[in-house]
Amino acid sequence: MTRTRRLLLGLGLLIVTGLLAWILRSIVYQVVILPVAFLGFQLNIWYHSLSQGLWWWLILAIVLFMLVFSLIPPEKPGEQKPTKSKPKRGQVEQLSMEMRRSKSGQYFKWIVANRLGKLAYQILLHRESGRPRSVFAPLLGEGWQPPQELQAYLETGLHGSFADFPNSKNPFDKPRQTPLDHDVGGVVEFLESQVENGLLPK
C-alpha cells in the first residue's frame, strides 16, 4: 500500500469517526457522561458529609493493616504439614491382590507365576548352601520332584513372559489353556512342603 493510499484511508476513517460521534453525541451524553457526572456528584456529597477526622482515622487504619500484613512471615515450604502416605503393602498382601487380579488376564497370571518361580529359585539356592546358581538355570535339584505341569508353571513364571501367550483377537474364541493356568494353590502347597520337609538349612 502506497503512502497516498494510507493517507486517504486514514482521512476516510477520521471522517467516518467524526460523523458517528456527531450522530451519536446525544446517546453518548445520556449513557456515559450523565451517569459519570452523577456518580462524581454523589461521591463529592458523601465525602463532604463525613468529618475530616474520620477520614484520617480511616487512612490510618488502612496503613496499619498494610503494615501488619507485610510483617507476617510467608509460609515456608519446609513447614507444610506432611501428608499421610498410604502404608506399603507387604509381600503376602501384594501377592494376594495379584492373585485376585489374575482372573482378568495373562499379565497378572504371569506376575503371580513369576513371584512363585523366584521363590522356587530361592529354595533351590539355599538348598545348595549358597553355591553360585544362575537364575536362568532350570529349576532342578536334589529332592526337587514336582509334577510335570507344576514344573512347567514355575519355569514359565521364572523364565517365560506373558507375551508368549497372547489373548485371542476374536472375543468369541474359547480361551486356550496355558502353563499359567495351573492351580496356584497346588503350587503354594508344593513349595511349603519343600520348606517343611527340612530341605532348607536353618
The predicted-structure confidence for 29-48, as pLDDT tens digits, reads as follows 777 778 888 888 777 777 77
Looking at the structure, do residues 15 and 102 belong to the same domain, yes or no?
no
Mean pLDDT of 99-115: 75
3-state helix, strand, coil in the chain (%, to 5): 65, 0, 35
Residue 202 banded pLDDT, cuts 50, 70, 90: very low
**Segments forming the whole domain that contains residue 27:** 8-48
- CA–CA dist 84, 61 (Å, integer): 42
Share of the chain above pLDDT 70, in %: 74
**pLDDT at residue 13 above 80?**
yes
Q: At what angle do helices 91-101 and 106-127 cross, to 10 degrees?
A: 140
Look at residue 23 and tell me if it is in a domain: yes
pTM: 0.48
Looking at the structure, do residues 95 and 188 belong to the same domain, yes or no?
yes
More confident residue, 15 or 171: 15
Looking at the structure, do residues 106 and 174 belong to the same domain, yes or no?
yes
DSSP three-state, residue 19: helix
Look at residue 62 and tell me if it is in a domain: no
CB-based contacts of 43, cutoff 8 Å, min separation 6: none
- Give the DSSP H/E element, type plus range, for residue 100: helix 91-101
Look at residue 21 and tell me if it is in a domain: yes
Task: Please tell me the total count of domains within the chain.
Answer: 2
Look at residue 56 and tell me if it is in a domain: no
